């Protein structure tokens, strides 16, 4: 594996760095899960990114991108996190639905949705989980009933991230009477359509990260189905591969967190046992190891390969690394770590606690780690089903 960057890649890095230095907001933006104002501040940031053509650098130019390869996307991400730029409010859209639409969407869908997604004009939520259908997604009961050129949607979704303020959702529905993996379709619907009710669910710190979504005879055009009718499971599994494997959690996120942790350790090390220093060093190495592994996967994909079961091993690795890294930060901070509040600088004790609370969810979302271990056992190791 060649680890040096080419002169073109280095020039690209310099271009991203100088744009970020000139444009990243000086203070931390208000939370996008607490108020409409915070949500819209993040949308404005997405618009600014898109004006600089940075909305999603790997996408074709016609859809607001720069048609760059995955290695440049990783470089972009490194500079993005290095600059402390705001969390992407549209990550469900740009990292999950976007790549899926690129693979399964019609030309009309790509033209209608992708430029608006890249520009932050439409912020997306993922509406798959239901009460009784989380790990066992094939148990989804919400229905899509065909009525001429329309579907009529009915049912209930839960744990839909950003859906409190988002504009659109991509949901998994089944034909009435169908069972398990058959008869499902992935359907796009506006969250302000007649018959849609959103009920926020507050996280333990009060932020309205999720919503329940109730659908009561919601009519959407058949043209807003993504992929073939009845092929929703197949389409969703492609999305899940993007979510777990590469896009959702880029390595730069953890490398920057490891750097902040090392700074926290150095500022406090006079009062800490040597074992904490060893943990900090381990987190740093883990973050770098994850980055190298992702560069290897990206190189393989650029050479025409497909993402496979490593999306499950990656997901376990980043989610467990994130919990452990934040736990070490809390151990360094001691009782100071227990204060909740709103941070303005991105490095206060409040941020470590906030990060820890979020990290705890990592082993659950994007397919729980127990399910990923089942996939590894059955599909990678060929072990018998339990």
Ligand X SMILES: Cc1cc2nc3c(=O)[nH]c(=O)nc-3n(C[C@H](O)[C@H](O)[C@H](O)COP(=O)(O)OP(=O)(O)OC[C@H]3O[C@@H](n4cnc5c(N)ncnc54)[C@H](O)[C@@H]3O)c2cc1C
In the complex, least distance from residue 126 CB atom to ligand X, rounded to whole angstroms: 4
- Angstrom CA distances, 232 to 106, 175, 255, 336, stand at 15, 11, 35, 47
Q: Under the criterion CB under 6 A, does residue 41 sit at the interface with ligand X?
A: no
Calculated CA dihedral for residues 380, 382, 384, 386, nearest 10 degrees: -10
84 binds ligand X (CB under 6 A): no
| Residue nearest to ligand X as judged by C-beta position | 134
Question: 109-128: which residues touch ligand X (CB under 6 A)?
Answer: 126-128
CA atoms of 224 and 318, how far apart (whole Å):
34
H or E element at residue 250: none
**In whole angstroms, how close is the CB of 188 to ligand X at the nearest point?**
14
192 is an interface residue for ligand X by CB under 6 A: no
Tokens of 291: 């980055």
Is the Cβ of residue 63 or residue 128 nearer to ligand X in the bound state?
A: 128
Closest CB 185 distance from ligand X, rounded Å: 15
Considering beta carbons, is residue 265 or 358 the nearer one to ligand X? 358
96 secondary structure, DSSP code: I
Distance CA 64, CA 137 (A): 32
Shortest distance in whole angstroms from residue 133 CB to ligand X: 7
Distance of closest approach, residue 378 Cβ to ligand X, in angstroms:
11
Given candidates 337, 374, 376, 378, which one binds ligand X under the rule CB under 6 A?
A: 374
- Supply the minimum distance, in Å, between the C-beta of residue 315 and ligand X: 12
Name the segment binding ligand X (CB under 6 A); options: 48-56, 62-70, 113-121, 365-373.
365-373
Residue 319 makes contact with ligand X by CB under 6 A: no
* Interface map 334-363 toward ligand X (x if CB under 6 A): ---------------------------x--
- Evaluate whether 194 touches 184 at the Cβ level (below 8 Å): no
Residue count (the chain): 386
Catalytic, out of 79, 130, 243, 310: 243
Which residue's CB is nearer to ligand X, number 129 or number 313? 129
**134 binds ligand X per the rule CB under 6 A:** yes
Pair 69, 58: CB distance under 8 Å: yes
Question: Catalytic annotation on 21?
Answer: no
Q: Which of 39, 81, 242, 365 binds ligand X (CB under 6 A)?
A: 365
- Sole binder of ligand X in the list 103, 216, 338, 370 (CB under 6 A): 370
How many angstroms separate the Cα of 200 from the Cα of each of 159, 164, 212? 9, 6, 6
Q: Which is nearer to ligand X, 65 or 367 (CB)?
A: 367
Q: Which of residues 223-242 bind ligand X (CB under 6 A)?
A: none
**What is the C-alpha R_g of the chain?**
21
The helix or strand, by DSSP H or E, that contains position 9, with its residue range, turns out to be: helix 7-23
Of residues 150-169, which lie at the interface with ligand X (CB under 6 A)?
159-161
Q: Can you tell me the distance from the alpha carbon of 299 to that of 304, in angstroms, rounded to the nearest whole number? A: 9
Q: How far apart are CA 321 and CA 158, in angstroms?
A: 27
Identity of the residue, 73 or 159, whose beta carbon is nearer to ligand X in the bound complex: 159
Cβ atoms of 325 and 258 closer than 8 Å: yes
| Phi, psi at 384, each rounded to 5° | -70, 150
Nearby residues of 145 by Cβ (< 8 Å), 6 or more positions away: 151, 152, 154, 175, 176
Catalytic residues: 243
Residues forming the site for ligand X (CB under 6 A)? 126-129, 134-135, 159-161, 361, 364-365, 367-368, 370-371, 374
């Amino acid at each position: 594996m060649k680890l040096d960057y080419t002169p073109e890649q280095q020039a690209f890095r310099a271009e991203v760095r100088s744009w970020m230095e000139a444009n990243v907001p000086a203070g931390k933006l208000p939370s996008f899960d607490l108020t409409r104002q915070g949500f819209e501040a993040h949308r404005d940031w997405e618009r600014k990114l898109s004006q600089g053509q940075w909305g999603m650098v790997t996408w074709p130019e016609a859809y607001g991108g720069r048609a760059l390869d995955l290695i440049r996307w990783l470089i972009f991400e490194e500079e993005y996190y290095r600059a402390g730029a705001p969390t992407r409010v549209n990550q469900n859209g740009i990292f999950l639905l976007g790549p899926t639409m690129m693979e399964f969407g019609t030309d009309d869908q790509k033209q209608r949705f992708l430029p608006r997604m890249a520009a932050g004009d439409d912020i997306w939520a993922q509406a798959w989980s239901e009460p009784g259908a989380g790990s066992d997604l094939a148990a989804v009961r919400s229905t899509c009933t065909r009525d001429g050129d329309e579907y009529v949607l009915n049912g209930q979704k839960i744990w839909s991230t950003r859906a409190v303020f988002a504009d659109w959702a991509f949901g998994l529905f089944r034909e009435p009477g169908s069972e398990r993996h058959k008869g499902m379709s992935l359907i796009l619907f506006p969250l302000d359509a007649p018959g849609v009710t959103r009920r926020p669910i507050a996280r333990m710190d009060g932020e309205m990260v999720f919503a329940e979504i109730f659908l009561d005879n919601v009519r959407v055009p058949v043209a807003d189905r993504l992929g073939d009718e009845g092929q929703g499971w197949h389409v969703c599994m492609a999305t899940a591969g993007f979510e777990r494997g590469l896009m959702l959690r880029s390595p730069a996120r953890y490398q920057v967190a490891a750097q902040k942790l090392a700074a926290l350790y150095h500022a406090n090390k006079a009062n800490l046992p040597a074992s904490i220093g060893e943990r900090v060093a381990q987190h740093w190495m883990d973050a770098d190891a994850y980055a190298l592994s992702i560069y290897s996967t990206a190189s393989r994909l650029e050479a025409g390969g497909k993402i496979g079961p490593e999306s499950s091993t990656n997901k376990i690795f980043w989610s467990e690394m994130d919990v452990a890294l934040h736990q070490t930060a809390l151990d360094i901070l001691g009782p100071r770590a227990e204060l909740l509040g709103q941070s303005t600088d991105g490095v206060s004790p409040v941020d470590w606690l906030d990060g820890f609370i979020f990290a705890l969810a990592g082993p659950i979302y994007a397919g729980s780690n127990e399910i990923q271990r089942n996939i590894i056992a059955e599909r990678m190791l060929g072990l018998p089903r339990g």
